[in-house]
Amino acid sequence: MFWNYRIVNTKSANGGEDWYCLQEVYYDDHTKKPYAYCAPCTGSEDMESLRDVWHMMEEAMKNPPLQEEDFNDS
């Protein structure tokens, strides 16, 4: 398993209308496909590691949004 931050269009959270959220997305090591997401952690133990988190979140803006349908049911 590996993860990164991605934008996910969570329409189910907004009555079927687009709702883009920054999420932690988890991927299967073998298929490289996303299988789960959750809310990101926005805290950190020190400012240096918080900057690292911030940069990871910035990287999420460089990728196209994922859709809820991109995640399997397992």
Q: Note the pLDDT tens digit of each residue in 27-54.
A: 999 999 999 999 776 777 789 998 998 9
Share of the chain above pLDDT 70, in %: 95
What type of residue is 6?
Answer: R
SS3 19: coil
Helix (H) or strand (E) holding 48, with range, is helix 47-60
Contacts of 20 (CB under 8 A, 6+ apart): 7, 8, 9, 10, 65
pLDDT of 32 reads 95
Q: What amino acid is encoded at 21 in this protein?
A: C
For all residues of the chain together, what is the average pLDDT? 90
Alpha carbon distance 14, 65 (integer Å): 16
Rounded average pLDDT over 13-33? 93
Q: Say what the pLDDT of residue 74 is.
A: 44
pLDDT score at 2: 96
